[in-house]
Amino acid sequence: MVEAQERRHLVLIGNGMAGINTVEQILKLAPGIYRITVFGSEPYPNYNRIQLSYVLEKSKAVEDIILNDRDWYLENGIELYTATTVTHIDTEQKTVKADNGMEVPYDTLIIATGSNPFILPVPGADKEGIVGFRDIADCENMLHAADQYKKAAVIGGGLLGLEAAKGLLKLGMDVTVVHLFEEIMERQLDHTASLMLQAELESQGLKFATGKHTEEFLGDKRVSGIRFSDGTTLDAEFVVMAVGIRPNIALAKESGIAVNKGILVNDYMRTSVPDVYAVGECNEHRGITYGLVAPLFEQGAVLAKHLCGVDTKPYEGSVVSTQLKISGVDVFSAGEFMDAEGLSIVRMHDDWRRIYKKVLLRGGRIVGGVLIGDGKESSRLQQWIRTGTIMTEAIHDAIVGLASVETGNTAAELADEEIVCGCNGVTKKHIMDAINEKGLTTVEEIKVATSASRSCGGCRPVVEQILQYVLGDKYDSAAAKQEAICSCTTLSRDEVVTAIKEKGLITSKEVRYALEWDNPEGCSKCRPALNYYLGMIWPAEHVDEKDSRFVNERMHANIQKDGTFGVVPRMYGGVTTPEDLRLIADIAVKYNVKLVKVTGGQRLDLLGVKKEDLPKIWKDLGMPSGYAYAKALRTVKTCVGSQFCRFGTKDSMGMGIKLEKKFERLDMPAKFKLAVNGCPRNCAESSTKDIGIVGNEGAWEIYVGGNGGIKARLAELLCKVRTDEELLEIVSAFMQYYRETGKYLERTSDWIERMGLESVTEAVVSDLDNRRALAERMEVALAQVKEPWSEILNNSNLRERMFDEISVSTKPN
Amino acid sequence: MEPILNRNEYTYYLVGNVDDFTERLGRVVRLGKEEIAVFKTTDGQIYALENKSPGPRGGTIAEGMISGEVLFDPICDWKISLTDGQVLDPDKGQVRTYPVQVLGNEVRIGLLTNGGGLFHE
């Protein structure tokens, strides 16, 4: 290796994404050929500027968006000067001077000074409370403002402006987006797409003032409002300027390097001066300045190869695409997007589903596209635009074709870069590589290795198809069905349950020891499952293991993303009284509850309760827990029924309350929902419940296995019964049969498909002895349940440890 | 001139007794401005981590499940090492940890004497 002193000295001005990405690529291509020094004006190492909007909406902290931490610079022998601004480049002597007085010689210099927010040159633009949105300091400014002020205006309805506006809205501000043009994002979207996006954002709470030309900022020292050229005004205590960016060329210009809008560079990022390069947003290449991330990576790749003496094609410009990073809004745009002469256009506009798709063709080749409301095909579309692919039937179908019923295995048709798991951002290629490299054979293993299907599970069928596709004949569907319950063991659910019964294992520690678990304390998957199986098999003997319960089931409340909880008291059959309603309202006020929500299960959710207030609220309510958090009976939804409704043939409220009182609190494999209807009009929606009961003249119909959630499924008719007693016994037998044979977390909709409706009907309806035995075992299990809120209230030691924080001052006494 | 590194000098504060913490159940300790999740493992070891989920959805970690020296994040189910706060495969990230001293029955948690923070320029 060459000695440090002999190596060529590379100086990088600008510690942002463009510059550091170039350095990273240089280190990969030819480690050790340069001694590297980096100057950055901001007091942070290199961070992901694109994710600032996440920091603003508080879904990420500053540390989370750091791309290269200080150790990275140390490990790679890079000298880093943060909070240090280079003030002059002497291109003759080949040195740079910084604001801390130091002077450093260079052999090769890269300028990556990025860009500055453009501040409108109108009167009052220098008032307090007007900021740009460019760096972490701006972000902190905005977070601070949201605490103090209410009314905000964001000037600029482009990508950055909308992200800033949405962030401020999420922080609780009243936000108006001011835009010079009539249509937002007019540089990426056509008329239709722009209107759809605006409507969507309005429905989320943003306000818009479009076609408004800002003429003056009002206020004394601090901004108080904006006056527009049409004479109207807008109140604003805080203004974010997001009208655009300007390449930061001051340093280059002052040092005699040729500039226009940006620092002029050739196809290898060289400036007008030898050994001086410019990369990223600060440069201008073939008349274009870029403000997006993809071009700077492409430029960096060419520059790195050039500086390492590796053969490279020249940089010839980038096809830019735009993706809006606002949750719940799919917006994609790339290449040409406006109708124009010489273009053929494929268009699909669905106002009901709020989807708009447009693909623009020139001479049959794809040259641009816009996707609103459904961005699934965005990565493929971008690839087609980049390569100028010719439109085919298959592509047409993929983008605007009618959704056909998926039969057969379509995994082969997915592009490698296609995101299969939207929750965790896992691509098809990522999954295929994991299968091939690690020899995976089950979806469970893929889940552990790649995170695909780990969150909502909606993509599990696709993951399974990919597995089938990769393994071909080696794919073992039986193995897939008898999957291990988690990665701590190779045993399936049935093997574990049989062993627990045969060997008389009572605690989960015994199970893990006797069945030779790999991980002696288990994992977040098997711990709750074992706790459930043990309680189901040994209802009287097993002691519930609190440390194996998910947080919600342990705290008996639903944890929310901000660490507060939701409290849902029982409201049997969705029936309450004026006194109870008043009590709930008074308590909501007393504890300053953030929101009161009527839930889908006909009761009230008090949201935003602090952990330490939970026991106090329970005490004041004096009502039982509604188990809105549990793998147990949630609610029994009822219609008004024969007590009041003129169509009602059965007392659905009475039966619903009876069922809810009987089966509440009992642990089930998964959450469990019931509905009781007084007539076939089915107002309480039986068809999407685990058990849906429909009253007829003289009979009850029992439907089972319905689900309205992730995987919708209509309930199927189990049987018809004449008497209330029969109804109660069959419901009881069905629930117990599901408890005894269901896999933990398996809903009845999946369980019925696995077991087959016929065999379930045989076990809980036709075989009378079995039905009675199941119902008897159910009674034993029901005898064990306890009301959890009062249990915690009556145990001060438990209450203190679970709900009270320890508070210690750091101030010296 | 070399890049500046943190000097790790800590001041330790008494936060409670060993028995104030339950095995495998987290408890929140507010130490000055810091919100800390304190965990006791089956082996009786006590660990202190910043009570902030490293996952994309935010949230707190004190409510997570403990297995050996691994914490399962209650929000995103990521695995976090109690010993150094590192997020384990297949996810990436890090939770800030605080040094813990147990002297007899007393538990103390250390804060950086210079006020903490990651970077000093």
User: Residue length, chain A?
Assistant: 813
B56 contacts chain A (CB < 8 A): yes
Cα-based angle A229, A235, A237 (whole degrees, multiple of 5): 120
Give the three-class secondary structure for A272.
coil
Binned at pLDDT 50, 70 and 90, residue A64 comes out as confident
CA dist A108 and A96 (Å) reads: 11
- Taking CB atoms and an 8 Å cutoff, what residues of chain A touch B63? 551, 554-555, 559
Mutate to test the interface with A, among B57, B63, B92 (most CBs of A within 10 A): B63
Two structure tokens written together for A31:
């480690």
User: Tokens in use for A800?
Assistant: 């203190």
- The answer to whether the CB atoms of B66 and A522 lie below 8 A apart is no
Nearest Cα to Cα of residue A324 among A154, A167, A157, A159 = A159
* Contact assignment for B32 to A561 by CB distance below 8 Å: no
| pLDDT for residue A601 is more than 70 | yes
Q: Distances in Å between the alpha carbon of A589 and those of A387, A609, A625, B12?
A: 60, 11, 19, 40
What pLDDT sits at residue A1?
A: 46
* Global pTM value: 0.54
- Alpha carbons A674 and A676: distance in angstroms, whole number: 7
Using the predicted structure, report yes or no on whether residue A3 has a pLDDT greater than 70: no
Measure in Å the smallest separation between the Cα of A124 and chain B Cα atoms: 34
The alpha-carbon gap from A547 to the nearest alpha carbon of chain B, in Å, equals: 6
Q: What is the pLDDT of residues A414-471, one digit of tens each?
A: 778 777 776 667 788 889 998 888 888 888 788 878 878 766 566 777 788 888 888 8
Interface test with B, best of A170, A521, A614, A809 (most B CBs within 10 A): A521
Mean per-residue pLDDT, A591-619? 92
CB pairs under 8 A between A and B: 118
In tens, the pLDDT along B56-67 reads 878 889 999 999
pLDDT of A192 over the 50 cut: yes
User: Region A631-657: what's the mean pLDDT?
Assistant: 92
Mean pLDDT within A39-68: 85
Contacts of residue A144, defined as CB under 8 A and 6 or more positions apart, other chains included, come to: none
Residues of A in contact with B3 (CB under 8 A): 70, 73-74, 79-81
Residues B6-57: tens digit of each pLDDT: 445 678 889 999 988 999 999 999 988 889 999 999 988 999 999 999 988 7
> Virtual CA dihedral for A622, A624, A628, A630, nearest 10 degrees?
130
CB contact under 8 A, A562 and B1: no
> CB within 8 A of A770, min separation 6: which ones?
A733, A763, A764
Q: B47, B24 in Cβ contact below 8 A?
A: no
Within 10 A of A138 (CB to CB), how many other CB atoms are there?
18
Q: Give the pLDDT confidence of A170-180 residue by residue, as tens digits.
A: 888 999 999 99
Q: Is B60 on the interface with A (CB under 8 A)?
A: yes
Q: What is the pLDDT of residues A129-143, one digit of tens each?
A: 999 988 898 988 888
B44 part of contact set with chain A, CB < 8 Å: no
CA within 13 Å, CB half, A600: 9
Give A349-407 pLDDT, tens digit per residue.
Answer: 888 888 899 999 998 889 999 999 887 777 778 778 877 888 888 788 877 765 443 44
Q: Where would I find the H helices in A622-761? A: 652-663, 724-741, 748-755, 757-761
Of B32, B54, B118, Cβ closest to residue A810: B32
Predicted confidence (pLDDT) at residue A283 exceeds the cutoff of 90: yes
pLDDT of residue A780 exceeding 70: yes
Whether residue A559 and residue B64 make contact (CB cut-off 8 A), yes or no, is no
Interface contact flag, B68 A559, Cβ < 8 Å: no
Whether A524 contacts B67, CB under 8 Å: yes
- Cβ–Cβ gap A523/B14 under 8 Å: no
Centroid of chain to Cα A637: 30
B103 touching A, CB under 8 A? no
Measured between beta carbons, which residues in chain B are less than 8 angstroms from residue A102? Answer: 1
- Residues pairing with A358 in the sheet: A347, A370
Average pLDDT of every residue of chain A: 88
The angle formed by the CA atoms of residues A461, A467 and A471, to the nearest 5 degrees, is 150
